[in-house]
Structure 1
Amino acid sequence: MKKILLGVAALMFAGLLAGCNQLTQYTLNEQEINDYLQKHNEYQKQISVPGLLDAHILLTQLHSQIGRSEPGKVTLSGDAKVSITSILGPQSADLKLTLKAQPVYDREKGAIFLKEMELTDYSVQPEKLQTVMNALTPYLNQSLRAYFDQKPAYVLNPDKSKSAALAKALAKGLEVKPGALVIPFSD
């Protein structure tokens, strides 16, 4: 009987802590960020290397890993379809990209942005287009950085939940934990 009472008390205490957490912070997990990116990612860009080539790039299938491979950072992986026009004629390639960024909360917009975006790794198919992609990489990196500086990775929806409304009104920053972004509320 004593063990049952202790178990019930422990469950009640855990419930209270979880309830308090909702009043002190708003937590977003990787799946919520991934869902938002799938619905709102619109990266599509025409990139030119003057006198060499033009490339149309469409970024798809973005997935985040929060604070796992590098503390305080978000790593995105995704695919890109690339249509290239050059002196060699039209070609197309598929890329697998890995990007790294610093998540930042913009209280005024109620949004999380991925700043200082950097293309850290990629592979290209067919491999014969590796040299062409090497020439495009600096332009692609600059374009991705500009895009994610302006386009949020997540926007709080105060109509969705009370804790999202509290986060938008009372947020005092952003903490990166393994697998989650935490928006603590101000006092």
Structure 2
Amino acid sequence: MRKCLTLIVFCCTVVLAGCDHWASYTLSEQEINQSLSKHASFEKDIGINGLANAHIRLDTLHAEIGRAVANQVVLSGHAKVEFASLFGQQNADLNLKMSAVPVFNREQGAVYLHDITILDAQAQPQKVQGVVDGLKPILATSLREYFTQQPAWVLSSDRSKAESLAKKYATGIEVKPGELVIPLAP
């Protein structure tokens, strides 16, 4: 009798452990970074008319999930900037570091990055840093608008059975170091 009960408990444990991967769907940093490299194409003209205008093009973007800031994604990126100001025209490279809160939109089956905050913006050559600092609030607003409309990841029924189930039964999103976990409804 005792062996039978032990066998039943063992079988139930194996079955439940095997079904655990159906309780959530996980997106790795690598998957998010691949998606961002394909789909994040921010390009915009920003500025203060008459004083300084800039054409900015974000050409690389890399995400660190839940590592530097708990429950957030830290984005590091590079942008090319063309300035036109009272002092003439100037080209610059801009290294950006931003934080964002991942949000899951259940109707679209998509992960968006909300509440973008620029943590650091370093310009090369250094002499345009003052102009960059002056344009930072406008750039932050533009990036917020862009990332609330452009998803970082969209769940697809075509990639895998697990992702198809996640698209149907997802309930939200959790941030863990190196991954986004999408819990599934029972």
Q: Tell me if TM exceeds 0.5.
A: yes
Structure 2 match to 1:93: 92
CA–CA distance in structure 2, aligned partners of residues 14 and 36 of structure 1? 36
Please give the secondary structure, in 1, of the residue aligned with 2:162: helix
CA–CA distance in structure 1, aligned partners of residues 80 and 13 of structure 2? 47
Q: CA deviation at 1:61?
A: 1.4
Structure 1 match to 2:80: 81
Structure 1 position 160 matched with structure 2 position 159: yes
Q: CA deviation at 1:19?
A: 4.0
CA–CA distance in structure 2, aligned partners of residues 155 and 18 of structure 1? 28
Pairing 1:1-187 to 2, within 5 Å after superposition: 19-187=18-186
Give the gaps of 5 or more residues in structure 1. Answer: 1-12
Q: CA deviation at 1:81?
A: 0.4
CA–CA distance in structure 1, aligned partners of residues 98 and 59 of structure 2? 13
Matched length: 176
Change (3 A) 1:18 1:120: farther
TM-score, with normalisation over the residues of structure 1?
0.89
Q: CA deviation at 1:20?
A: 2.1
CA–CA distance in structure 2, aligned partners of residues 184 and 98 of structure 1? 28
- Write out per-residue CA displacement over residues 76-122 of structure 1, whole angstroms, 9 at most, x where no aligned residue: 00001000111211101101100101000001001000010111111
- Write out per-residue CA displacement over residues 46-74 of structure 1, whole angstroms, 9 at most, x where no aligned residue: 00212201100001211100000111000
Matched residue type, 1:56: H
Structure 2 match to 1:3: none
CA–CA distance in structure 2, aligned partners of residues 150 and 18 of structure 1? 38
Matched residue type, 2:135: L
Q: CA deviation at 1:163?
A: 0.7
Please give the secondary structure, in 2, of the residue aligned with 1:72: coil
CA–CA distance in structure 2, aligned partners of residues 48 and 18 of structure 1? 55
